[in-house]
C-alpha cells in the first residue's frame, strides 16, 4: 500500500489546497526562481539588504530565497522579484 492510495483526490483549487502534482510543479518553479535570484545576487556581490532593496522583497523573504525555503512565497512574488532584479518590466 502506498501512502497516497487512500487519499481523497483533489482535482483543483479547493480551500487553498492543490493536488500533489500541481504542488510539486509549483515547488519546482519556486525553487528555480529562487535559484536564479540567488545566482544573480551572488554574482553581483549583494547582501540581504541590497537584495531586498533591488527585488522589493522584505528581508525575511530574501533569507528564505537565499536558503531555498520558498514554499510559502507565491510564484508571482518570486517572478516579480526576479524581473526587478534583472531590470525587466512586469
- Give me the number of domains the chain comprises: 1
Between 38 and 20, where is the model more confident?
38
pLDDT of residue 21: 56
Report the candidate in 75, 61, 85 with the shortest Cα–Cα distance to residue 31.
75
What CATH code is carried by the domain that includes residue 78?
Answer: 1.10.260
Beta carbons within 10 angstroms of residue 77's beta carbon: 17
Does some domain include residue 79?
A: yes
Which DSSP string do the residues of 2-70 spell out, in sequence order?
A: -TTTTSPP--S-BTTB--HHHHHHHHHHHHHHHHHHHHHHHHHT--HHHHHHHH---HHHHHHHHHT--
Does some domain include residue 12?
A: no
- The per-residue pLDDT for range 32-83, each reduced to its tens digit, is 999 999 999 999 999 999 999 999 999 999 999 999 899 889 999 999 999 9
Amino acid at each position: 500500500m502506498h501512502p497516497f492510495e487512500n487519499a481523497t483526490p483533489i482535482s483543483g483549487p479547493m480551500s487553498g489546497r492543490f493536488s500533489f502534482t500541481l504542488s510539486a510543479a509549483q515547488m519546482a518553479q519556486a525553487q528555480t526562481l529562487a535559484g536564479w535570484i540567488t545566482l544573480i545576487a551572488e554574482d553581483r556581490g549583494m547582501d540581504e539588504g541590497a537584495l531586498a532593496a533591488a527585488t522589493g522583497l522584505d528581508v525575511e523573504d530574501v533569507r528564505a530565497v537565499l536558503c531555498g525555503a520558498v514554499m510559502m512565497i507565491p510564484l508571482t512574488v518570486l517572478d516579480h522579484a526576479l524581473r526587478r532584479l534583472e531590470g525587466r518590466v512586469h
